[in-house]
Structures are given as structure tokens and as C-alpha cells.
Structure 1
Amino acid sequence: MAQTEKIEQGRGFGKKRAKKSTSLGNKNLIPIPKGAKTSKKRVGQGPGSGLGKTSARGSKGQRARASSMKRGFEGGQMPLHKRLPKRGFTNIFKEEFQPVNLLALTKAGLSGEVTPAALKAKNLIKSETDLIKVLGTGEITAAITITADGFSESAKAKIEKAGGKVVIREKKKEEKKKA
């Protein structure tokens, strides 16, 4: 009898366990048992810490030191990042454009002259100074004059068909500092 009581008490999902209820019901919501979440133990040194002179690191050896090993160290064996072959390259001249679809322009209700500042105001782009490319997804009915750094062929054709105008923004060349 005493043994079955212990089993019932130790289960943790019994009748005594608190249940949380939400608008979604109790689906996938198991309350965290008391003592399951504890803060990380702060290890001190010396007799006052309760961990003695070695701070729970044992005595001597590599792992007892403050900076024991570098990340990726495999005990002297050639580490994985050096064993694997190098592949590809990174193009340092890559230009990343912020895409803006014609559908987004129509939804935003832009008309007349559309500048990068207007696109930024409608949250269609993140930055005015970065490169902007207008893409041809969607249709446009209003005649707009849009200024951007690039246009897809379909976007250019659709804008001009609607009576609009395409203006390519001039690139600002950074002057090299003379040393």
C-alpha cells in the first residue's frame, strides 16, 4: 500500500497538478513543475563559496584552467573546419536590390511622381539610399513617373503601356580618398 502511494505522489500529472486554461484550451500547455527552471549556479572560489578551493573543477588538468580549449578544438586531431574542402567564393562587387512589385505600388495607391522617399513613406522599401528595382508582378492602371535604380523588362513595358514614365536614378560614385 505504501509503495503505490509513492508512485501516485511522484507522477507529476496527477489530480493535484495545476492546469492552465486559455482561450485556445489546454492544447500543448503543460505547466512547468516547481524547481524545473533554476538560474545558473555562480561558481565562486575559496571556502566561503561552499565549493572549496577548486571551484568544482577537480584538481589540475586542462579542464581545471580558466580558458581550457579553443572553440572547435578536437584534442589535437585536425578540426572539422580544416578537414572540409573550401568551396565557392564571395563576390565583393555584388549589388543587392530592394524589390518593389507593381502590385505593391497599386495597393499603396501611389500616383503621379513616385520617388524613393515616397516608397519609404509607404513602407515598400527599408532604405532610400539602397538600390531599388521595380519588378513586373501585378498590373498598373495609373500613369506614374517612377524613379528607381533598376526595372525589369515587364515592369518597364507595363508602366509605359499605362502612360507612365521610367526614370533611372543616377549612381553616386564614392570618391577615393587620396592618401
Structure 2
Amino acid sequence: MKLNEISDKDGSVRSSQRLGRGIGSGCGKTAGRGVKGQKSRSGVSINGFEGGQMPIYRRLPKRGFSNAFFKKDYNEVSISCLEKGVQFGKLDVTKPITAQTLLKVRIIRRIRDGVRILGGSEAQSKFYLEVSGSSKSALDSIKKAGGAVKIVEG
């Protein structure tokens, strides 16, 4: 195969709809834009405009606070997901399970700000976890099964 022989698969690329090419094309005359006026022209940006009236997003007061800069984005892993990993032989419960371990066995796709364990089901295996956080129900379930959770930062 040569560079000049490389092409897309047949049918993978569709040509764009040609607008305003007569009544037989199915998209002639108004070209799918309706009828006359500002919105039928190109380059229109009047979303939120209320005809001279003060727009609703300016009438209502600003509310709340978003601390997005310092917000943590955790990978959330449920106990049932860990149980499936043990069931399919991907996770070894004799060794501590860390974020790197979960990444290696493809339970998580990437390590963000850490891993947080969520409950929702009872743990049957003895898990020894080193994670960034855990819900109270998950912590209770793991301790009841004989495992342990060590909270590590980052």
C-alpha cells in the first residue's frame, strides 16, 4: 500500500446538502430556513433578545457560587464493579488495590483526582483498598466482609 492509495471506507463520508438548488432538490427556494427576515440571513445571533425588553437573564439576580477551580473530579467505582473484577480474575484481593491497579485492569480509564468507592451492594470479598475516598455505606460493607480501606491523598 502506498500513501496515494489510502482513502476512507466507502460510504463513510457523505457530501454536504447543497442548498438553494431548485425545487427538485427538496431544499430549494428558502433552503430550509423558512421565509424572510433576519433569521433567514447568515450570521444571526439574537438568542436571548426579547425585542427591547430587558432579557430574563439580566432581570433575575445572580445566585450561587461555583468553586470549579478547586473542585475535585474523582473516579467513582462501586463495590459491585470491584466484585466483578474479582469474579473475572482481574483483581487480586490478597494485594492492596490502588488507583494504578484499577487502571491496569481497565476498571477505570484514567486517574483523575483519585478514586472514590461507592456502596450500593454488599461486599463478599476481603478488599484492601488504598483510595482517595469512600462512602459510608461502602466503608461499612467492606469492613463487615473483613477488608480495610486506607484513605490516601491524590
State whether TM-score is above 0.5. yes
Q: Which moved more, 1:130-139 or 1:74-83?
A: 74-83
Which of the residues 10, 13, 19 maps onto 1:41?
19
Letter in 2 for 1:101: S
8 Å CA contact 2:131, 2:152 repeated in 1: yes
Aligned residues: 120
Could you list the runs of 5+ residues in structure 2 that have no partner in the other structure?
1-15, 22-35
8 Å contact 2:99–2:114 — kept in the other structure?
no
Shift of 1:163: 3.0
The answer to whether 1:89 aligns with 2:65 is yes
Separation in 1, partners of 2:18, 2:60: 36
- Could you tell me how far apart the structure 1 residues matched to 2:144 and 2:44 are? 69
State how far apart, in whole Å, the 2-side matches of 1:41 and 1:70 are.
23
Q: Highest Rg: 1 or 2?
A: 1
Gapped runs of 5+ residues in structure 1?
A: 1-37, 44-57, 172-179
The whole-number CA distance in structure 2 between the counterparts of 1:75 and 1:136 is 52
Q: Aligned match of 1:162 in 127, 137, 145?
A: 145
Partner residue, 1:116 = 99
Q: Within 5 Å, which residues of 2 pair with 1:4-153?
A: 39-41=17-19, 67=43, 70-92=46-68, 93-109=70-86, 110=91, 111-112=93-94, 113-153=96-136
**Contact 2:142–2:148 (Cα < 8 Å) also in 1:** yes
For 2:108 and 2:45, how far apart are their aligned partners in 1? Answer: 45
Question: How big is the alpha-carbon RMSD for the aligned residues of Structure 1 and Structure 2?
Answer: 3.5
Q: In structure 2, how many angstroms separate the alpha carbons of the residues matched to 1:165 and 1:62?
A: 65
Q: TM-score, normalised by structure 1?
A: 0.50
For 1:73, give the aligned amino acid: F
SS of match in other structure, 1:146: strand
CA offsets per residue over residues 67-89 of structure 1, 9 Å max, x none? 56554334433233223333333
Q: Which deviations, in whole Å up to 9, do the C-alpha atoms of 1:25-62 show, x marking residues without a partner?
A: xxxxxxxxxxxxx925269xxxxxxxxxxxxxx9xx98
TM-score with structure 2 setting the length: 0.56
Kindly indicate whether structure 1 or structure 2 has the higher relative contact order, using CA contacts under 8 Å at least 6 residues apart. Answer: 2
Letter in 1 for 2:82: L
